Amino acid sequence: MDAGPGFWLPRQGSTSAAKVDFLFRAVTNISIFFFVLITVVLFYFVWKYRARPGHTAQPSADHNQKLEITWTVIPLLIVIWIFWEGFAGFLDLQTPPINAYEVQVLGQKWKWLFTYPNGVVDDNLHVPPDEPVRLVMTSQDVIHSLYMPEFRIKRDALPGRYEREWFQATAPGEYQIFCAEYCGTSHSGMIAKVIVHRSRPEFEAWLAEAGNFLDKLPPEKLWEGGQKLYNQRGCKQCHSVDGASGIGPSFKGIWGHQQPLTGGGSALVEENYVRESIVNPQAKIVAGYEPVMPTYQGRLKDKEITAIIAYLKTLE
Ligand code: CUA
C-alpha cells in the first residue's frame, strides 16, 4: 500500500496508518460489493416477476434452507472478522508502548501547547522518527480534540482529566494537526504542525536549542522572547496588549504608571511589581479585577520573567 497522499486519504505518516486504512478500505469495499449485489438482484427480480398481460401469478416459493444458512453464516463471519480487526486495532491505539517518548499536550482557546521532558514549551509537536511517542493530553478550558489525519489518530483533550494517545512516525517531514471539536470562535484556527525530525540526534539538538532560546537573544532582542512567552504561557488569555479589558488588566501602556489597587492605594508598575504579580499574583490586585490568576512560581524561570518585563516595556 502506498504511503503517499491518495485521492481518498491523506498520506500515511505513522505505523498504525496502514492498518487503519486497510480496515477502512475493507469495510468500504465489502459494503460496496453487497450494495451492488443486492441492488442488481433486486432489480432483476422486479423485472422478472413483473405483472404483465397473460401472466398468471404462481404460488410463492417456500423457504430454501441451504440458501438461508449461506446468506446468514457468510455475513456473520465477515462482521465477526471486522469486529476482531477493529477491536485489535483499537486496543493497539489505546496502549502506548512502555518505552514511549512522552510529550505533554495542553489544549486551550485557541492553541495547542506541547511541553517536553526538559521543560521546553512549543506551539508545534516535534518528535524523533521511528520511535513511539506518547501524548498526555488535557485542556485548560473547554473540550478540544487533537486530530492528526496523516497519523490516523484523534482524541479529545478534556479539562480536569488526562487522556493518552500515541503514534510512531515513519518518515521525517511536516504533518498537520487540527482541533476536531468545536471550541468557539477560533476553533478552525487552532492548528499546529507535527515536525518529525530526520534522526534522534537532530531532534535532541532541536530540543537543547529550544531549551535556551532566551540565551541566544541579544539583550536588545530580549523583548521578542518575552513576546513569545506571553503568547505561549497563558498570559495572552487574560491580558490584552491593545488596551482591551480581559479577565486581567491589559498590558498596554501600564509600564511606569500607577495601577489602582483593590482596597485602596496604588502600585507603580516596575520590575519588582511585575515579578511579584507573576510569582505571587494575589499580593496586589488591580482594582476592578478578581484575584483569579494562578501563581507562576516554578513555572517561569527568572530569565523568562526578565524577558516578559522587557516585553512589557515595549507596550507603550
Ligand atoms: Cu479547540 Cu476546536
* pLDDT band, very low/low/confident/very high, at 4 (cuts 50, 70, 90): low
Q: Is the CB of 144 under 6 A from ligand 1?
A: yes
* Cα within 13 Å of Cα(29), Cβ side: 6
* pLDDT band, very low/low/confident/very high, at 141 (cuts 50, 70, 90): confident
Atom of ligand 1 nearest to the CA of 183: 2
Cell triple for 182: 468545536
What is the maximum span of the chain, computed from C-alpha positions, in angstroms?
105
Q: Is the CB of 137 under 6 A from ligand 1?
A: no
The whole-number pLDDT of residue 2 equals 46
How far away, in angstroms, is 178 Cα from ligand 1 center?
A: 8
pLDDT in tens, 255-291: 888 989 988 888 899 899 999 999 999 889 998 898 8
Q: Is the CB of 190 under 6 A from ligand 1?
A: yes
Q: Nearest residue CA, atom 1 of ligand 1?
A: 144
- State the Cα torsion 64-66-68-72 to the nearest 10°: 180
Give the predicted TM-score (pTM) of the model: 0.70
The whole-number pLDDT of residue 148 equals 95
Segment 295-301 mean pLDDT: 81
Do the beta carbons of residue 247 and residue 269 sit within 8 Å?
no
Distance, CA of 260 to CA of 166 (rounded, Å) = 49
Q: Is the CB of 187 under 6 A from ligand 1?
A: yes
Atom of ligand 1 nearest to the CA of 190: 1
Atom of ligand 1 nearest to the CA of 157: 1
The whole-number pLDDT of residue 195 equals 95
Higher pLDDT, 306 or 216: 306
Mean pLDDT (the chain) is 89
Atom of ligand 1 nearest to the CA of 182: 2
Q: Is the CB of 235 under 6 A from ligand 1?
A: no
Cell triple for 276: 511579584
